[in-house]
Structure 1
């Protein structure tokens, strides 16, 4: 039985955790990032879980983003954006192929 395990994508567990947290910070701060389709599939699950936790407890949000400097406009925009939805917080915009290995690259928007 698999018990809802995430893919490893050839990274150690601590590196994976930090990488996805940094991607979440970037989505909140810049509202748009580019990533491979494999990382997106994992990021979507992690992001939805964290957003549901933020919706239940706003204190968790400020603990989560305590080490990056965000202005109030970004925080208010983000909290208003997640208030309206229950899931599906990320939008996939464009798909292109990376030059070296032809991996699908997508642009995510909040």
Structure 2
């Protein structure tokens, strides 16, 4: 995965991938992964309608057509862990939250 820059904040990781801004939002029991596709001054960022959700070690595609589980999420989870390792030095608390959600650390 070729990542150019990483910004780690309280509950988000933002990185540039092939010219696009991609965000990972860390919630209590879920990660949401989406592309920021635009920005409106009045309303703020605009995110893609197709997103990935990670819950309990499983990955789901969320789209206007519904939510479907990814049958083999190993590459996605591996990529998230690689990204989390890059975040570890910048924001240890966020790193631990990511690990907890994907199931590598007990809750």
For normalisation by structure 2, the TM-score amounts to 0.31
Structure number with larger C-alpha Rg: 1
RCO higher in 1 or 2 (8 Å CA, sep ≥ 6)? 1
For normalisation by structure 1, the TM-score amounts to 0.30
Structure richer in helix, relative to its length: 1
Structure richer in strand, relative to its length: 2
